[in-house]
Amino acid sequence: MDNVIGLEIIEVVEQAAIASARWMGKGEKNTADEVAVEAMRKRMNEIHMRGRIVIGEGERDEAPMLYIGEEVGICTQPNAKDVCDVDQLLEIDIAVDPCEGTNLVAYGQNGSMAVLAISEKGGLLAAPDVYMKKLAAPAVAKNHVDINKSATDNLKIISDCMERSVDELVVVVMDRPRHKDLINEIRQAGARVRLISDGDVSAAISCAFAGTNIHALMGIGAAPEGVISAAAMRALGGHFQGQLIYDPAIVKTGLIGESKEDNMARLKEMGIEDPDKIYNAEDLASGETVLFAACGITPGTLMEGVRFFPHGARTQSLVISSQSKTARFVDTVHMFGESKKLELR
C-alpha cells in the first residue's frame, strides 16, 4: 500500500488544501469545506484502488459530500474491469476530513489542514458522529499515562517520562465550556494551557514530534477526528486513547443526537456493543498497514499553509506510514498555468 498509493494520497490532500485555501478569510466556512470535498473526491477517483469511505462528511442522503459508505477510486467505477484487475486490488478503508477546521479557514486563522487516513478493509474504526474524550502524549509516555487518571496525575507522569518539570509542559485543550474544570486543573498542576477553537488532529499529532512545544492533548472533541489522529499516532508510536462520549449533557455544546438513549442505539447499530470502551491507537486504527496524510491549508505547528503565487502555489504536506515507519514532510510547487517561472517565496 505504501509503495503503490503513498504519493497519490499526498496529491489528494494537496488538491483539497489548495481548493479550500482559495476561500481563506472570506467568512464562507461551508464553501471552503465543499470545494475541499470535491477536490478530494476528484483526485481519489483517479487512483487505481478500491476505496470505501468509513469516516466522512455524512450519510448517503447528504451527498454530494464524501458520505460514509461511498466508494472511491477508478476500480469502483462502472467500467472498472476495462482498466483494473479488480480481483488483485487491495480493498481500502478511508477516513477523511477534507477541511479540518472550517472556521479557521473562514476567518484566516492558523491550524487548518486537509487530512485523511487509510488502511486495508476493516482497519479503521467506523466511528459514529458523536464525541470522544481524548488523551494524546509523546512516545516516551506511551502506556504510562492513562485516560482514566486525572490530568494532574498524567502531567506528573509526562513530566517524569520527559525528564522536565510540569511547569515546562504545554497542554492543548479545545476552548469549550465543558473544559472549564479541566483547564483549571491543568493550570493548578503547574502546566500551561494552549486553547484552540478548532482542529485537534494537528494538536494530537504534534505531541509525537519533538520541538513543537506541545506535550499533551486533553479533553473532548469529535470522534471521527479521533480515529484519524489515532492512525497517525499509531504510526508515530505516540500515545493516544479515546472514549466515546454520547451524552449531550456532558458535551454541552454542539450537535450530538436527540438524546443519550438515541445515541446509544446508534452506536449499537454501528456494531459498538460497549459504548464506554476505552480505545487505544491500535484499536482505532487496527489495520496491518496504516497511512496518514495531511496538507496545511492555513499555517500551523507542523506545516505551512498554502501560498499562492502567479500561475501556481506552494504546499507543505506530511505523510506518515506504519509500513515504512517514516514521517515525510513534502514541499511541493504546483504549476497552474503556462508560466515556467517558479517563485519559491
**pTM above threshold 0.85:** yes
pLDDT digits (tens, 9 = 90+) for 316-325: 999 999 988 9
Cα gap 340→280, rounded to integer Å: 48
Q: What is the pLDDT of residues 144-159, one digit of tens each?
A: 999 999 999 999 999 9
Angle made by CA atoms 310, 311, 312, in degrees to the nearest 5: 95
CA distances to 142, 146, 160, 224, 241 from 157, in Å: 10, 10, 5, 28, 15
Give the whole-angstrom CA distance, residue 189 versus residue 90. Answer: 48
Return the pLDDT at 63.
45
pLDDT recorded at residue 86: 66
CA angle 32, 305, 62 (to 5 degrees): 25
Query: Quick one: pLDDT at residue 61?
Result: 42
Of residues 269 and 300, more confidence is placed in: 300
| Alpha helix stretches (DSSP H) within 177-335 | 180-189, 200-206, 223-236, 248-251, 260-269, 281-284
Q: Closest Cα partner for 70 from 57, 89, 83?
A: 57
Confidence check: pLDDT of 64 > 90? no
Q: What is the largest CA-CA distance in the chain?
A: 64
Residue with the bigger pLDDT between 254 and 143: it is 143
* pLDDT over 60 (residue 68): yes
Q: Which residue has the higher pLDDT, 64 or 282?
A: 282
pLDDT, position 53: 94
Residues forming a β-bridge with 135: 218, 241
The mean pLDDT value of the chain amounts to: 91
